[in-house]
Structure 1
Amino acid sequence: METTLTSAHDGVRSHLLFDRSSALDIAAFVVDGTDLSPGSAIPSDGDPRIDRALAGFFFTCGPDHIRHPEPVEGQDGRRYPLHGSLAGTPVVRTEMSADATRCEALTVVDLACGGKATVERRWHVSEGGQCVVLEDRVTNIGASAFAPMMMYHMNIGGRLLGQETGVVSPSLESGSLEWHFGEGESAHLCTPAHAEGGWSEVALGPLPGLGRRRLIVRFRVDTLPFLQMWRCQRGGANVISIEPASHRLAKRGELAASGELSLIEPGQSRGYALGFAVS
């Protein structure tokens, strides 16, 4: 089932097509008739949950793990799945406002470690329709503590980019870089997010395939302190992604040893927030 949220600002109309079968992630983000999503122009890691999610504009890693599979601590033979347990989990319930500017959902997630969590999600259009805002609250409803990890992928089809397209953010050492960063067919970067007033910002543009507009992303740095980006131009794949993340690019064992896998006890919650706009 699908739900559409509509926004308009400065004459630019946009539609978000949500996927209720996967935590109310965004299957399509259409601006003046153009979908920013990469669609089929993605690589496959062999996990159908992630192949489906990656083809859309927005999907969520977590709430128990992000990035590639790793062993579950203290449980021989069990592994955290690719990008965590949330992707491909249907929502329990949704509610859309009468004016189609707010959508809320509840998802119950079975964690790889044997625990259970809820993700209470609220999408809404900001006052004046200037941006789309996401607020998530992850709550431990299991019997034991777990370490929440979250990363949000905003995937943009490379067909929309041009030679003049770049990434601009105070989080970057030089303040900007070309979109085709790194070497080879695929590359990652992950850097501490620079905060102003508790939020960090990154922009991708101009986008020739979107009327030379820019995609601007803002995210709350207290629980998403890292800006990660990824691109892949391999075979038929052509995608770039902006990925606010809760943890730096490192193995779970290293993060645990340095005290970066903080726990939430049963009944405790942790909140995350971001916003994005095309201008």
Structure 2
Amino acid sequence: MDFSKKDWLDKVSHVAQVGGIETSILDNGRGRGTRIAWVNTGTGLRFKVVIDRAMDISDAYFNQFNLSWISKLGVTGPQPFSDRDTDWLRTFGGGLLVTCGLTHVGGPETDAFGSRGLHDQISNIPAEIIHIKQPDLLNGDREMSITGKMLQGHALGHNIELIRTIRCYLGDPTLYIEDEVQNVGNSDAPHMLLYHFNFGWPLVDAGTQILWNGKWQPRESGESNKIFKEGNDFKICPEPREDHRGSGEEAAFISPISDDEGNCQCGLFNEKLNFAVMLTFKKEQLPWLTNWQHWGQGEYVTGLEPGTHPPLGQKQMRECKELVFLKPKEKKVYQLALTILDKQEAIQAFKNNMQNI
């Protein structure tokens, strides 16, 4: 729909005919009682925000095509004590975005500073919704947004607040995420954050191009490293792999190249479907990118994950003196955008940019 033209205004009674935000509560299965919000941009891009899971995003579509990988669990309600060992996986429904952190990103670990489970707590914390804005058609305001607040922490310990705003505009196939992370406690708090974007079929299919540019290193080593080797074409999605049944997976840690304005880009292009997904973020805010590849049968997914650190854990980052600390009242802001590209010129420009920057 061309929202720059005004003739359609006389034909619309309610904003829901063209887009907007609708909140609801799931009433069945593992997600029963979980609050959600459907966001419709009016361009074919629509997605489900799971309010009770840190305002992460599960289902996402462009026209009739699914974008996200959803695990067999689907949406589950928040489990506040899933931060031990690998219990996080028991609530990992996948979806377009799962937020990891806010103090630890990586596998389970223990050191002199405590024990931490896989990917920490934030994705199992419900949001307090503080604002929902709908488009105002009569006054030409195309903006829609939903803002929520989450607190990770406990009495006599670290307390970090996340205020997340997800914003879209009618007629623009882009979702914008702005996160404000603040130490609201009274002592310095360690801080790690990872945006675990999970893409699935049919966007991800054999032949889909994985687009990123930067110096990289494999997470696995020796015989465990089968994918991320020099000479391997690991930026083309393969058919499902037998060795990825169960826990088979690999990842690469990337220092993404930024443009003159400090922006990094990555994404996916499916030539058969003739559209691309482009993820944009700030190098200064999120200097690392992880490409996770898991090509199991019936569990076929790749992740593009901007982060403050590679997901190697608080312990290792502390030892190499790269762990970030937030002082009391200190705040950091993170901004990301996910855009659908379905015009050939825009797709080609994106691909060229990934080769040239």
Residue 237 of structure 2 is aligned to residue 179 of structure 1: yes
Residue 125 of structure 2 is aligned to residue 89 of structure 1: yes
What letter matches 1:157 in structure 2? G
Q: Distance in 2 between matches of 1:194 and 1:83?
A: 25
Residue 286 of structure 2 is aligned to residue 224 of structure 1: yes
Residue 199 of structure 1 corresponds to: 263
Structure with greater contact order relative to length (CA < 8 Å, sep ≥ 6): 1
Determine helix, strand or coil for the equivalent of 1:150: strand
What letter matches 2:340 in structure 1? V
Q: Distance in 2 between matches of 1:126 and 1:200?
A: 22
Residue 103 of structure 1 corresponds to: 146
CA contact (8 A) 1:91 1:106 kept: yes
What letter matches 2:51 in structure 1? R
Relative to its length, the structure with more helix (as a share) is 2
Residue 251 of structure 2 is aligned to residue 188 of structure 1: yes
Q: TM-score, normalised by structure 2?
A: 0.68
Residue 6 of structure 1 corresponds to: 40
1:250 offset after TM fit, Å? 3.3
CA contact (8 A) 2:36 2:50 kept: yes
Q: For the structure 1 residues 157 and 27, does the alpha-carbon distance in structure 2 shift closer, same or farther, using more than 3 Å as the test?
A: same
Q: For 2:57, which of 21, 26, 37 is the aligned residue?
A: 26
Q: Distance in 2 between matches of 1:261 and 1:50?
A: 24
Q: Distance in 1 between matches of 2:238 and 2:323?
A: 32
Identity of aligned residues (%): 19
Q: Distance in 2 between matches of 1:81 and 1:257?
A: 18
Q: For the structure 1 residues 40 and 127, does the alpha-carbon distance in structure 2 shift closer, same or farther, using more than 3 Å as the test?
A: closer
Q: Distance in 2 between matches of 1:50 and 1:98?
A: 35
1:94 offset after TM fit, Å? 3.8
- Where in structure 1 are there 5+ consecutive unaligned residues? none
Deviations 1:234-256 (A, max 9, x none): 35311111100111353433321
Residue 67 of structure 1 corresponds to: 106
1:114 offset after TM fit, Å? 3.0
1:158 offset after TM fit, Å? 3.9
Determine helix, strand or coil for the equivalent of 1:177: coil
Range that drifts further, 159-168 or 170-179: 170-179
What letter matches 1:148 in structure 2? H
Greater Rg by CA:
2
Range that drifts further, 65-74 or 192-201: 65-74
Determine helix, strand or coil for the equivalent of 1:266: coil
Q: For 1:121, which of 129, 140, 164 is the aligned residue?
A: 164
Q: CA-atom RMSD, angstroms?
A: 3.0
CA contact (8 A) 1:41 1:236 kept: no
